[in-house]
């Protein structure tokens, strides 16, 4: 019997389960990307209760606070042939691993308090096929952008078009905030059916780096005392005892001879079998007869 084959066959489901489990862990770990090195557009809602119920959320994945003074937030049409400033010149500071919420001044209906509003109600509203761009100055230095639906201006490929009351949200990075940036909007953003705006009161708690272990001092070796040899006493020779002569036994005379008798006869017990024949008409019957008795050897 091939026990090796039976063992492999019996353990195949376990091995397959371990392989699938490892693959799922690898996929889960590999799906979390590194954070961007700059402020990013982390969430966009283009409509809610009304067409003007919109907001743009920013996130700072860096380890330092960023002054947003003079920054510009802009929207572009689907073909990028026209644009308008949502906020011509921003103000305020976005904390390290913190958020910053920019909303429509009259149309926004969310319960989360805004950090900045559009420059005016005439700034225009964001459509679900527009692009949103963030500059660190008056419109020259582009920091981040996201194109939605069929927008022309985008990073690699468009993010999905958000639905009313929902939003597009940047995926979580390896520090726990919404700062994943692979320079591809379709890869970096996911669609939410219900938006979740965050403002400057939200700070992401990033994992602390593990402290390097402190080397322990090596123990000092304690010298081992060398044993002092003890002199061995020289044994004194003991004189051997003189051998004592063993006396020779005096022979005794032999006794009278005892008469011998002839041995008793020996017998054995044997059995002998003979057959006796009986005739009954047309039938003949043979029966055994057994004789047992002593036999002289």
By the 8 A CB rule, do 55 and 197 touch? yes
pLDDT of res. 26? 46
* Maximum separation of any 2 CA atoms in the chain, in Å: 159
Question: pLDDT of the chain along its 297 residues, tens only?
Answer: 555 555 455 555 555 555 555 555 444 444 678 899 999 999 999 999 999 999 999 999 999 999 999 999 999 999 999 999 999 999 999 999 999 999 999 999 999 999 999 998 776 789 999 999 999 998 899 999 999 999 999 999 999 999 999 999 999 999 899 999 999 999 999 999 999 999 999 999 876 554 554 555 555 555 555 555 555 555 555 555 555 556 566 556 555 555 565 666 676 777 777 777 777 777 777 777 777 777 666
pLDDT of res. 106? 94
Strands 72-76 and 283-296: unpaired
By the 8 A CB rule, do 85 and 119 touch? yes
User: What residues does CATH 2.60.40.1260 cover in the chain?
Assistant: 31-192
Name the helix (H) or strand (E) containing 23.
Answer: helix 3-30
Give the separation between CA 109 and CA 114, rounded to whole angstroms: 10
By the 8 A CB rule, do 147 and 155 touch? yes
Strands 99-103 and 55-59: antiparallel
Domain 31-192: CATH architecture, name and number where available: Sandwich (2.60)
Nearest 5°: CA angle at 101, between 95 and 103?
160
pLDDT of 89-127, one tens digit each?
999 999 999 999 999 999 999 999 999 999 987 767 899
pLDDT of res. 271? 79
pLDDT of 16-55, one tens digit each?
555 555 555 444 444 678 899 999 999 999 999 999 999 9
3-state DSSP call for residue 251?
Answer: coil
């Amino acid at each position: 019997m091939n026990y090796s084959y039976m063992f492999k066959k019996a353990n195949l489901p376990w091995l397959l389960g371990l392989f699938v489990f490892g693959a799922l862990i690898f996929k889960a770990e590999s799906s979390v990307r590194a954070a961007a090195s700059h402020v990013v557009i982390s969430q966009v809602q283009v409509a809610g209760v009304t067409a003007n119920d919109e907001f743009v959320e920013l996130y700072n994945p860096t380890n330092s606070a960023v002054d947003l003074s003079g920054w510009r937030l802009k929207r572009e049409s689907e073909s990028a042939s026209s644009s308008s400033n949502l906020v011509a010149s921003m103000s305020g500071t976005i904390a390290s691993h913190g958020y910053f919420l920019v909303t429509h001044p009259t149309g926004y209906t969310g319960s989360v308090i805004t950090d900045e509003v559009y420059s005016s109600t005439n700034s225009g509203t964001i459509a679900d096929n527009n692009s949103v761009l963030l500059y660190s100055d008056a419109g020259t230095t582009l920091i981040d952008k996201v194109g939605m639906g069929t927008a022309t201006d985008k990073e690699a490929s468009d993010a999905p078009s958000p639905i009313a009351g929902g939003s597009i949200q940047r995926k979580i990075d390896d520090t726990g905030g919404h700062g994943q940036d692979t320079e591809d909007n379709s890869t970096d953003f996911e669609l939410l059916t219900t938006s979740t705006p965050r403002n400057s009161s939200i700070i992401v708690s990033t994992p602390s780096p593990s402290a390097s272990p402190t080397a322990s001092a090596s123990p000092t070796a304690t010298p081992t005392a060398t044993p002092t040899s003890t002199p061995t006493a020289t044994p004194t020779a003991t004189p051997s005892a003189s051998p004592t002569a063993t006396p020779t036994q005096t022979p005794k005379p032999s006794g009278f001879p005892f008469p011998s008798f002839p041995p008793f006869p020996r017998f054995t017990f044997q059995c002998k079998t003979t057959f006796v024949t009986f005739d009954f008409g047309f039938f003949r019957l043979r029966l055994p007869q057994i004789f047992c008795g002593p036999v002289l050897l």
